[in-house]
Amino acid sequence: MRIGLGFDSHRLIAGRPLYLGGIGIPHPKGLLGHSDGDAVIHALIDACLGAAGEGDIGQLFPDTDPATAGVRSTILLQDVVGRLRKKGFRLGHADVVVAAETPKLGPHFEAMKDALCPLLGLRRDGLGLKAKTHEGLGDIGHGRAIACWAIVSLVKIPPRKK
Ligand code: MG
Q: Where are the domains of the chain?
A: 2-156
At 51-106, the pLDDT tens digits run: 999 999 999 999 999 999 999 999 999 999 999 999 999 999 999 999 999 999 99
- What is the whole-number distance in angstroms between the Cα of residue 63 and the centre of ligand 1? 9
pLDDT of residue 162: 72
Exposed, middle or buried: residue 24 (CB in 10 Å: 0-12, 13-18, 19+)?
Answer: middle
CA 12 to mean position of chain CA atoms: 16
pLDDT of residue 158: 84
Mean pLDDT of 12-24: 97
- What is the whole-number distance in angstroms between the Cα of residue 10 and the centre of ligand 1? 6
This prediction's pTM:
0.96
- What is the whole-number distance in angstroms between the Cα of residue 105 and the centre of ligand 1? 18
- What is the whole-number distance in angstroms between the Cα of residue 4 and the centre of ligand 1? 16
Average pLDDT of the chain to the nearest whole number? 96
CATH architecture of 2-156: 2-Layer Sandwich (3.30)
Exposed, middle or buried: residue 2 (CB in 10 Å: 0-12, 13-18, 19+)?
Answer: middle
